[in-house]
Amino acid sequence: MKDYTAPLRDMRFILREIAPLEEVNQLPGCGDVTPEVADAILVEAGKFASSVLSPLNPVGDREGARWHDGEVHTATGWREAYAGFIESGWNALSCDAEHGGQGAPRLVSALVEEIWNGANVSFTLCPMLTHGAIEALELSGSAEQKAVYLPKLVSGEWAGTMVLTEPQAGSDLAAVRTRAVPKGDGTYLLEGQKIFITYGEHDLAGNIVHLVLARTPDAPPGVKGISLFVVPKFLVRADGSLGERNDVRCVSLEHKLGIHASPTAVLAFGDRGGAVGWLVGQENRGIEYMFIMMNAARYAVGLQGIGLCELAYQQALWYARERVQGSELGSKSREGVAIVRHPDVRRMLMLMKSQTEAARAVAAVAAAAMDTARCHPDADRRATSQAFVDLMIPIVKGWSTELSIDVASLGIQVHGGMGYIEETGAAQIFRDARITTIYEGTTGIQAADLMGRKVARDGGAAIGRVVSEMRQVEAQLAAEGSPDLSAIAARLRDGIAALEAAVGFVLSTYGKDVRRASVGAVPFLMLFGTVAGGWQMARSALAAHRHVAAGRGDGFLRAKIATARFYADHVLVRATGLSQEVVDGAEGALSIEDEHL
């Protein structure tokens, strides 16, 4: 496998043209990370990713995490890499300065996280889960819990987890049975088994802080009776030092298709009398608090998808430039050429490149909106930005991860038979990508959330504002008089019309026949993602064209225009078919009898 290289040129373009960091810098509390500082951060992140994390990626895939008598040992080099990661301050990059963080804008930290994921997604899962725990405790924890846990979690000395589901529950958290019995001294004893716990046990950090969903004895049934508890692997003494081992044990590790180096644990709580835990916030509000972690994690998983797209593209492009096979079509010479010269290989590479750049731009625009929603002095502006963030998180998570599977599959295809051989590394990317559409809520769950909560519930107000912005870009493209931009504008116009037709169907149908509307939920998500990607690629082409027209053009900017044109001609054109799936696709799915499926 070729080592990963951070796509710094494209990230700089995004920070300058698509999600301008200079605008984020105007927000209160966001001025310290200037474009110059951000560039230095990205450069250093790229160095760490390519020199430390990327070489460990195939090592972790081969060795995996190893379980022995309740203890978990990570792959060769993992502990040293993690120590270097936290010593360099990377874990604290986006965290609040009050608890030892650096307070970088989400726009910058999101691009850095993409770099980590491109280099080594299995490694990056550990700090990702820690950040989810940090966010939950920041918003819902007591003053004492914040003082005890946040400084160590922010530094990375301690790691965090999300301990949610159980064997009988899956995605239905209403079925959670783990019990939490109050002792009368402010603590609870937890008993139950949890599954699919990413980095639930490992040897990287001195302590692991589990955030656990459980039920108190008098809790009402269903999701209304679930509470959230903080349960550390090692109990913490009054002076902050680590005490005795808590009654939490790793029973086993899952044997998985991919992300082998990330330990996915089965955890047993209370086998020896009860795991000591403390209530986070109020009883029976655990699902509410869990969604704080979940939304952060869903966006972060979308960044995993984008990082994997970039890695697959880099690997395929390198191979296509190196592999000589066949003569060039249309040439009189019979001399062999690199397969990058073959039209179909170029088509596949451009599908990989254009969709990766589109997904990166969409995620960056969402991250900038997160900064606005958090820091803007005007309450209405904060609310509007948060509505946009809420709308886009299912897209960043669902669409970007679905792309990662498609892009990784194309990467194997570019390699031909060698892509199916493990030693090239193309197969690992595909295997690692496959989980991203499943954990933290499947694509179907993201799509149901998008259609029901984010579109139907508000009468299409938030998505209507996005469509209005898309139409403004379309008009700007058409006004430039460039053949490429005019072609992109025409495709974008058709894509917007397809999206509007689907939104109209959702608004008219969801309340009357939710099953009929929901058949098209995933196509609706993919439609919105495809058109949102086209919107951002159109903005990229417009910015690049204006620089070229002003005499400031170079190969990168001309490639931006060409890539946006390709996306419009090969990807955006799919919007019409996806819209038809949403509007007309229910009959075949619902009319067939169950026994004939």
Which amino acid makes up residue 236? V
Q: Measured between alpha carbons, how far is 214 from 284 in angstroms, rounded to an integer?
A: 9
3-state secondary structure of 519: coil
pLDDT value at residue 64:
98
pLDDT value at residue 248:
97
406-to-356, 400, 522, 581 alpha-carbon distances in Å: 11, 10, 15, 19
Helices in 88-120 by DSSP H: which ranges? 106-119
pLDDT value at residue 173:
74
Residue whose structure tokens are 């390198």: 318
Structure tokens at 46: 């790229």
pLDDT value at residue 370:
97
Instruction: Please determine, for residue 270, whether its predicted confidence score (pLDDT) is greater than 90.
Output: yes
Stated as kind and residue range, the H or E segment containing 268 is strand 264-269
DSSP code of residue 215 = B
Exposure string for 111-144, b = 16+ CB within 10 A, e = fewer: bbbbbbbbbbbbbbbbbbbbbbbbbbbbebbeee
User: Nearest CA to 205 among 163, 254, 149, 259?
Assistant: 149
Spot the catalytic one: 440, 474, 500, 581: 440
**Lowest pLDDT segment from 203-212, 305-314, 322-331, 452-461:** 322-331
Give the length of the chain. Answer: 597
The answer for 439, left when phi > 0, alpha when psi is -120 to 50, beta otherwise, is beta
Provide the mean pLDDT of the chain: 96
Instruction: Please determine, for residue 365, whether its predicted confidence score (pLDDT) is greater than 90.
Output: yes
pLDDT, mean of residues 114-122: 98
Q: Are 148 and 240 in contact (CB under 8 A)?
A: yes
pLDDT value at residue 351:
98
pLDDT value at residue 169:
74
User: pLDDT above 70 covers what percent of the chain?
Assistant: 100
pLDDT value at residue 290:
85
CA atoms within 13 A on the CB side of 18: 31
pLDDT, mean of residues 23-30: 95
What is the distance in angstroms between the CA of the first residue and the CA of the last residue of the chain? 41
Give the list of residues 6+ apart from residue 578 with CB closer than 8 angstroms, or none: 498, 502, 523, 524, 526, 527, 530
User: Which residues make beta-bridge pairs with 210?
Assistant: 161, 231
Q: Measured between alpha carbons, how far is 578 from 585 in angstroms, rounded to an integer?
A: 10
Where does the pLDDT of residue 291 fall: very low under 50, low under 70, confident under 90, or very high at 90 and above? Answer: confident
Q: What is the pLDDT of residues 443-475, one digit of tens each?
A: 999 999 999 999 999 999 999 999 999 999 999
Instruction: Please determine, for residue 174, whether its predicted confidence score (pLDDT) is greater than 80.
Output: no
Q: Are 191 and 269 in contact (CB under 8 A)?
A: yes
Rounded to 5 degrees, what are φ and ψ at 530? Answer: -60, -45
Q: Which residue has the higher pLDDT, 454 or 174?
A: 454
Where does the pLDDT of residue 333 fall: very low under 50, low under 70, confident under 90, or very high at 90 and above? Answer: confident
> Which pairs with CB-CB distance under 8 Å and at least 24 residues apart come from 5-8?
5/46, 5/50, 5/314, 6/42, 6/45, 6/46, 6/49, 6/50, 6/115, 6/118, 6/119, 7/310, 7/360, 8/42, 8/43, 8/46
pTM: 0.96
Instruction: Please determine, for residue 171, whether its predicted confidence score (pLDDT) is greater than 80.
Output: no
36: annotated active-site residue: no
pLDDT value at residue 296:
87
